Amino acid sequence: MVGPISEAERDAGNRKIKLVLLAIVTVSPPLIALQLDPSPVQLLAALGGGFLLGLVVVWYLGRLAAEFSGGQRRPRRRR
């Protein structure tokens, strides 16, 4: 029988998922731009924009996952 994964294994897996997601989002805009025959500067701009967008997506999904998993909970506001 196999026990639950350790916290180190879970962190390593989460890191890999974040890196793969970041890579996919980073590469998508330049691949779309290739259909329009861009200049090298435009291609680099698409790559940079994709990287920034990827960072935002990974950050947002990390915060969203933390809310559902119970990690880093913020205290409730009093009404």
Per-residue pLDDT tens digits for 30-75: 999 999 999 999 999 999 999 999 999 999 999 998 888 765 545 5
Say what the pLDDT of residue 70 is. 67
Domain limits, the chain:
15-67
**Mean pLDDT to the nearest integer, 8-19:** 93
Better pLDDT: 12 or 66: 12
**Mean pLDDT to the nearest integer, 25-29:** 97
Provide the b/e sequence for 17-49 (b: ≥16 CB within 10 Å): ebeeebeebbeebbeebeeeeeeeeeeeebbee
Find all residues with CB under 8 Å of 30, minimum gap 6, and list them: 43, 46, 47, 50
Rounded alpha-carbon distances, angstroms, from residue 48 to 18, 33, 66: 18, 12, 27
What is the rounded distance in angstroms from the CA atom of residue 54 to the CA atom of residue 47? 10
